[in-house]
Amino acid sequence: MQQVDTYLTQLETVIHNVSRADVEAVVAALLDNWRSRRQVFVMGNGGSAATASHMVNDLNKFTIVEGKHRFRAMALTDNVPWMLAVANDMSYADIFVEQLRSWLQPGDTVIGISASGNSPNVVKAVEYAKANGARTVGFCGHPGGKLAQLADLKVIIPSSLIGQQEDGHMILDHVICLTLLERLRSEPGA
């Protein structure tokens, strides 16, 4: 029981200390992305890959408002054959950037999720996105690593525990999508 209470109490503190201004900046950027009908790409490894897929599900489904156009979001984690072909024939560090080479347009948004902030494949894709006119967002753990330094916008989960960092990233998905749904309801129709 002690471990359960300790973990949840620590997580409460971590979430309490997440920068609301940083989260709001991501919401504003994604709303701008929606208004301009640009694409959103999301990526990560391991637990962050699951969060990327979940976030894309929520952006595409949870934000539907009757009479308004929809988000156009894609998880770069979901095309397993393509990722494995690139990893096998080129490099694991290229699994996301090679997809962006096919799909990314200037003005799109690329969200990288990495607890360490140093995942080479995420960092490489964010570098490519920035060089090609995309807005970049990093969801990181403390202290943020290379991703936090590169991204135009970032939200750092202020914990050194990977589990709490990943919990925080999932919470970011839900609070961002819920806020977007509310804001989309007041936007003019398509």
Q: CATH assignment of 2-185?
A: 3.40.50.10490
The predicted-structure confidence for 173-185, as pLDDT tens digits, reads as follows 999 999 999 999 9
Give percent above pLDDT 70 in the chain. 99
Residue 75: strand pairing partners = 42
Q: What single string gives the DSSP state of each residue in 17-28? A: TS-HHHHHHHHH
Distance CA 98, CA 164 (A): 30
pLDDT at 142 over 90: yes
The predicted-structure confidence for 60-97, as pLDDT tens digits, reads as follows 999 999 999 999 999 999 999 999 999 999 999 999 99
The pLDDT value recorded for residue 100 is 98
The pLDDT value recorded for residue 60 is 98
Contacting residues for 78 by C-beta, under 8 A, at least 6 apart: 53, 56
* 158 cis-preceded (ω within 30 degrees of 0): no
What value does the mean pLDDT take over residues 115-127? 98
pTM, rounded to two decimals: 0.97
Q: Contact at 8 Å (CB) between 120 and 146?
A: no
Give percent above pLDDT 90 in the chain. 98
What value does the mean pLDDT take over residues 13-35? 98
Distance CA 81, CA 142 (A): 32
Average pLDDT of the chain is 97
What value does the mean pLDDT take over residues 14-33? 98
The pLDDT value recorded for residue 71 is 96
Q: Where are the domains of the chain?
A: 2-185
The pLDDT value recorded for residue 188 is 86
Q: Contact at 8 Å (CB) between 142 and 158?
A: yes
The pLDDT value recorded for residue 1 is 86
14 token code pair: 């971590």
The pLDDT value recorded for residue 43 is 98
The pLDDT confidence band at residue 190, using thresholds 50, 70 and 90, is low
